[in-house]
Amino acid sequence: MSLYGVMRTGVSGMNAQSNKLSTVSDNIANVNTTGYKRASTEFSSLILKSGSGNYDSGAVETTVRYAISDAGNYQFTTSTTDLAVQGNGFFVVQDSNGNNFLTRAGAFVPDSTGNLVNAAGFQLMGYNIANGATPTVAANGFGGLQVINVNTMALQAAPSTKATVAANLDPSATAIAAPAGPANYTSKTSMVTYDNIGNAVTLDVYAAKTGANTWDIQVYNGATALTTPGPTTTFTFDVSATGKGALAAASPTSLSVAIPGGSGAFNIDLAAMTQVASAFDFKATVDGNAPSAVEKVNIDEKGVVTAVLKNGTELPSFQIALATVPSPDHLTPEVGNVYSPNLDSGNVQVGLAGQGGLGTIQSGALEDSNVDLADELTSMIEAQRGFTANSKSFQTGADLLDVVVNLKR
């Protein structure tokens, strides 16, 4: 056995234990870093073939592994833009140069321009679903993703296009002549709608009972009729044992009018209207909204980002994307607690929360580091002892070499 080999093996062991101490130090430093995944050092031997009477000392090499697939504990917060992935998947984020990465660090807040960014400055990515748009997901890439910006949700006016009505018309009312209108009606109510630029337009709805189980319904904007009197506004009810006061099969179930200043037709769904032994009642749910500032942002488990305006209107605007890879533990860690895919991790697969094996999103929560401080301190002691022992073998080899050198004296 070569004394030089003994010293080289000792140096190899000290280097390996130094690597272990390095990962332990990183883990301890990031014990409170949101979404951090612990690193560990694995050892493997390097052995040279030796003869039966001679042994050639080898060495040890290290491989650093990351426990990226191990989830940390979850802690609840008071911010709705603090996000955690429960289950499989990563948030897709983007740096200032437009490069995409994966992360579990979900402490997002709006920056000066309204972009949602985490503590490392990475921007959260998602799909635009404003005005009822459907996310166009590129399953194997980041196509179609946009930076989620809460400022774009403010001061947006949406014209009214539909109303869903739950109403009851009083069957005991006295029949009058058609058509219904401001000077001729049995019952009256109003709905607030919005035009293209967010102006409120009040529509008056007049109902006149014109015969047994027959009603004429007209919609006015002030003194201007928006519906044309005729069969299309005459509603009939089935009071038989099977109908029980619901609209008759031959009756229309909706009205369509044009809101002044609006775009296209405004449809009033009256399919749920009844005529049962009860007083007049009319409840309507109308879409559209006036421009208003954003009061807060809500995010549901599917990642839908909804702006709640100060006037109470809720506007779904973005849907957060989640991504995964076949082997998460082989992702390449990057600066800022983010990861990038490589050949060992496999290609990125992008989707929506709760679909295709991806987890759900918890708003108002953060994922803690998965570092166990007790384990790290134990590993530190082990690495320290190992380093000391390897230094002793190096020192012993050096002392023996001195003995050999001194034989000449």
Summarize pLDDT for 348-380 with one digit per residue, the tens.
999 999 998 999 999 999 999 999 999 999 999
Strands 90-94 and 314-324, sheet pairing: antiparallel
Residues 278 and 174 in one domain: yes
Residues 309 and 263 in one domain: no
Q: Would the pLDDT of 130 be above 90?
A: no
CATH of the domain at 190: 2.60.98.20
Average of per-residue pLDDT across 263-269 = 90
**pTM attached to this predicted model:** 0.71
Residues 173 and 266 both lie in one domain: yes
- pLDDT tens-digit readout, 273-328: 999 999 999 999 999 888 888 888 999 999 999 988 887 778 888 999 999 999 99
Are both 53 and 137 inside the same structural domain? no
Range of the domain at 348: 76-148+300-330+342-366
Confidence label for 60 from pLDDT (cuts 50, 70 and 90): confident
Whether 42 is in a domain gets the answer: yes
Residue 37 lies in a domain: yes
Q: What percent of the chain has pLDDT over 90?
A: 65
Claim to verify: residue 128 and residue 174 sit in the same structural domain = no
Residues 115 and 166 in one domain: no
Query: What mean pLDDT is predicted for residues 126-146?
Result: 87
Same structural domain for residues 48 and 89?
Answer: no
Q: Are 312 and 211 in a shared domain?
A: no
Q: Residue range 50-76: average pLDDT?
A: 84
For residue 402, what pLDDT is reported?
79
Those residues with Cβ within 8 angstroms of residue 11's Cβ, 6 or more apart along the chain or in another chain: 390, 394
pLDDT digits (tens, 9 = 90+) for 161-173: 999 999 999 999 9
Within a domain: residue 228?
yes
Same domain, 272 and 171: yes
**Is-contact 49 58, C-beta < 8 A?**
no
Distances (CA, A) of 187 to 174, 232, 238, 253, 394: 11, 19, 20, 18, 100
How far is CA 246 from its chain centroid?
42
Coarse DSSP helix, strand, coil percentages of the chain, rounded to the nearest 5 percent: 20, 35, 45
Residue 157 lies in a domain: no
Taking residue 200's Cβ as centre, other Cβ atoms within 10 Å add up to 12
In a domain, residue 390? The reply is: yes
Q: What is the largest CA-CA distance in the chain?
A: 134
Count of structural domains within the chain: 3
Task: Say if 199 falls within a structural domain.
Answer: yes
Q: Quick one: 168 and 258 in the same domain?
A: yes
Residue 275 and residue 176 share a domain: yes
In a domain? residue 139: yes
User: Do 217 and 124 lie in a common domain?
Assistant: no
